[in-house]
Amino acid sequence: MIGKRIALEKLAPVGADVQKQLRWTGVALAASALWSLRALMRIVREMKTLKAVIDQGAFSSVAAYPRYLGSAFYGFALLSLVLAGLAVWNYAAFRRGARADYLMRRLPNRWEYHRRCLAVPLLGIAASVLVALTLYVLYRAVYWRLFREATAGVEDPIRLISRSGQAGWRGIW
């Protein structure tokens, strides 16, 4: 089994361009990842501001981590919805013309029909979830590292995280 390659044509309905489907899925995945960078930039900007305020002798509250995300991961959710639509389109592709769905169900491998309809969409959704989860963990690690650096020397830095989620001034020490 090592070295055996799966023919890409077996991952989509007959006549569908699987290379094109995979390429557009990759482009949408990259666009979603780039869109999510807005959250990272917001985190970095806020932590630099927090550090500057603390260095001046005042202190400010900072929003909790989930508040910085906003719409950062909506691209991944939208991609998953589009890929679910692609699965429906793949099933519909077999029903056009000569009704190949009937023939596909009669094949000895009963999963061939479903594999051809669901392989690319499920692969894309899995990649989307994996990339989104990785970025979520990475952004969270950046948030806590920058927070620790900004609040170095503060007695109880956790009290600077606003429970209401809104960052703001709390007064002078």
Mean residue pLDDT of the chain comes to: 82
- Asked if the structure places residue 31 within a domain, the reply is yes
State residue 95's pLDDT score.
72
- Asked if the structure places residue 162 within a domain, the reply is no
Instruction: Give me the mean pLDDT over the 43-56 stretch.
Output: 89
The model's confidence at residue 163, banded by pLDDT at 50, 70 and 90, is low
- Asked if the structure places residue 39 within a domain, the reply is yes
- Asked if the structure places residue 95 within a domain, the reply is yes
Q: Is the pLDDT of residue 127 over 80?
A: yes
The amino acid at 136: Y
Return d(Cα 104, Cα 97) in angstroms, integer: 14
Nearest in space to 169 (alpha carbons), one of 30, 17, 60: 60
- Asked if the structure places residue 100 within a domain, the reply is yes
State residue 172's pLDDT score.
36
- Asked if the structure places residue 65 within a domain, the reply is yes
The model's confidence at residue 170, banded by pLDDT at 50, 70 and 90, is very low
Q: Is the pLDDT of residue 147 over 70?
A: yes
The model's confidence at residue 106, banded by pLDDT at 50, 70 and 90, is low
State residue 98's pLDDT score.
58
Please list, in sequence order, all residues whose beta carbon lies within 8 angstroms of the beta carbon of residue 115, skipping any fewer than 6 positions away: 10, 11
Nearest in space to 36 (alpha carbons), one of 8, 73, 2: 73
